[in-house]
Chain A
Amino acid sequence: DVKVTQSSRYLVKRTGEKVFLECVQDMDHENMFWYRQDPGLGLRLIYFSYDVKMKEKGDIPEGYSVSREKKERFSLILESASTNQTSMYLCASSTRLAGGYEQYFGPGTRLTVT
């Protein structure tokens, strides 16, 4: 079974803090993704990575950065957290970039910025 884990289920941070969200997958997937989920908006893509050290912006990258130093790990970084970044963050991985292969999701991290 594919397993995608995220470092925290719940996180509370203060405005201006630097925040790291970690994601690890154990199936040697090339592709990894970060989404945020907000009520009524579905999931929106923040960033994705198709290989180690390779990344591309998604639909809403402003205020975020990412790091992929190892194939199994993909980190989302909030350089200076703001209250509008309070959200559920979901990490996903998949075997192929172009094509139809399904993404496997982690359990999510619910981040609250106060």
Chain B
Amino acid sequence: AQKVTQAQTEISVVEKEDVTLDCVYETRDTTYYLFWYKQPPSGELVFLIRRNSFDEQNEISGRYSWNFQKSTSSFNFTITASQVVDSAVYFCAPKDTGRRALTFGSGTRLQVQP
């Protein structure tokens, strides 16, 4: 069965600081996918990234970057030069190819202070 741990319940940073959100997952499958979602105060989850287990290259999208370490089962998310608009709850979600839906972590609430 899948399990995902987001150990940081809440993080508070000051604008322009870099911040890393941790995600550790468990899976018995060799093929799986990993997702990150953002949930701003409005409530609607926004898809950020999908990564499959065969692709261990790190990815960068603007101020966002993701570090996938298969050896440690981690898929961490870094925001560089954080902004107030980054304040949200962030969810990591693995998905086995045979499983019907995503398995969500408990989320990390990020507060970016001006």
- Say yes or no for A43: interface residue by CB 8 A criterion: yes
**Given the complex of chains A and B, what is the CA–CA distance between A98 and B35 in angstroms?**
15
* A58 contact set on B, CB distance < 8 A: 100-101
Closest residue of chain B to A94 (Cβ to Cβ) is B101
- Is A43's CB under 8 angstroms from B104's CB? yes
Which B residues between 93 and 114 are near A, CB-CB below 8 angstroms? 95, 97-98, 100-102, 104-107
Closest residue of chain A to B91 (Cβ to Cβ) is A42
How many residues of chain A get a CB closer than 8 Å to chain B's CBs? 28
- Is A45's CB under 8 angstroms from B101's CB? yes
**Given the complex of chains A and B, what is the CA–CA distance between A92 and B100 in angstroms?**
12
- Say yes or no for A61: interface residue by CB 8 A criterion: no
**Given the complex of chains A and B, what is the CA–CA distance between A97 and B43 in angstroms?**
25
- Say yes or no for B52: interface residue by CB 8 A criterion: yes
- Say yes or no for B42: interface residue by CB 8 A criterion: yes
- Is A108's CB under 8 angstroms from B91's CB? no
- Is B35's CB under 8 angstroms from A102's CB? yes
**Given the complex of chains A and B, what is the CA–CA distance between A41 and B33 in angstroms?**
21
Could you list 14 examples of A-B contacts with CB < 8 Å? A40-B9, A42-B107, A43-B91, A43-B102, A44-B104, A45-B100, A56-B100, A90-B45, A98-B97, A102-B50, A103-B102, A105-B37, A107-B42, A107-B44
Told that A97-B100, A110-B43 touch, could you supply 9 new A-B pairs with CB distance under 8 A? A33-B101, A45-B101, A48-B100, A50-B100, A99-B97, A100-B95, A103-B101, A105-B44, A106-B44
Which residues of B pack against A, CB within 8 Å?
9, 33, 35, 37, 42-47, 50, 52, 91, 95, 97-98, 100-102, 104-107
